[in-house]
Amino acid sequence: MSDEKKTAAEETAEAASETKKKKSLLSENAIEILVAVFLGITALLTAWASWIGSLHGGNQATNYTKSNNLASEGNSEYNAGLQDYLSDVMVWNTYNEYLFERDIAEANGNEEEVRLIEEKIENYLAQNGSQILQDAFEQMENDSSINSPFDISGMTDKYYEHANELLAESQELLEEGKKDNANGDSYNLVNVIYSVVLFMLGIVGVFRRLPNRAAVLCIAVVGLIATTIYMVTIPMPTGFSFSNFF
């Protein structure tokens, strides 16, 4: 009777041991499957982050190049505007000299000379004065309170309008380039964290105890989720569309 009881107890213990082993195997298999799945997901996300980061880098280089080109063009236009301004100042001074000659001719009653001087003034302004100066003269004709074209509000700014537009556009592109640079750096950070996640997933199998494997796996998954959430908040490259690649 004692042997029968002992045999029954041993059988019960063996059955419990086998059940425990089966559960342990199931848990180990589950962890291995989860590790494989998360390794694949992390690898795909790493490739995505690398691609988008490279697009940001390309946009940064393009925007910086365009910004530099526009800045150079804007500076050239600014110099051209300054030359036009100085030229118009000289035209204005010469115009006043011609007016003085005309006044002398009028005082002497020499109408023919007056007519010739007026024709000379008209031709001189048409040939040497910029469009800005000629527009200012028309405004002076309609407003007798204006004594000089350079007294007109905003007159001087007109010489640099195009230059200022180019320089403003250059600054906008520069700021876009800075944003692309910052976003590219953020994607590089994402890649670094994903690399750490890949490392942790890779060493899960090194640990013999199941709780240790599960702990490392959980830490890796938390890092993966948190990094992915952070990556989603980073703006995509300007003008990005999948249709552009097909």
Average pLDDT of the residues in 90-119: 88
Average pLDDT of the residues in 82-101: 91
The mean pLDDT value of the chain amounts to 85
> Is 92:133 a contact under the CB 8 Å cutoff?
yes
Tell me what pLDDT residue 18 has: 52
Tell me what pLDDT residue 162 has: 93
Tell me what pLDDT residue 8 has: 53
Q: Residue 239: left (phi > 0), alpha (psi -120 to 50), or beta?
A: left
pLDDT tens-digit map of 42-91: 999 999 999 999 999 999 999 999 999 999 999 999 999 999 999 999 99
Q: What DSSP letter does each residue of the chain carry, written as one string? A: -HHHHHHHHHHHHHHHHHHHHHHHHHHHHHHHHHHHHHHHHHHHHHHHHHHHHHHHHHHHHHHHHHHHHHHHHHHHHHHHHHHHHHHHHHHHHHHHHHHHHHHHHHHTT-HHHHHHHHHHHHHHHHHHS-HHHHHHHHHHHH-TT---GGGSTTTGGGGGHHHHHHHHHHHHHHHHHHHHHHHHHHHHHHHHHHHHHHHHHHTGGG--SHHHHHHHHHHHHHHHHHHHHHHHHSPPPTT--GGGG-
Does residue 246 have a pLDDT over 80? Answer: no
Contacts of 191 (CB under 8 A, 6+ apart): 46, 49, 50, 53
Provide the residue count of the chain.
246
Average pLDDT of the residues in 156-174: 93
Average pLDDT of the residues in 6-28: 52
Residue 28 confidence class, pLDDT cut points 50, 70, 90 = confident
pLDDT tens-digit map of 214-234: 888 899 999 999 999 999 999
Does residue 21 have a pLDDT over 50? Answer: no
- Between 141 and 165, the more confident residue is 165
Does residue 194 have a pLDDT over 70? Answer: yes
Gyration radius of the chain over CA positions: 41
Does residue 159 have a pLDDT over 50? Answer: yes
Does residue 2 have a pLDDT over 50? Answer: no
pTM equals 0.70
Tell me what pLDDT residue 12 has: 53
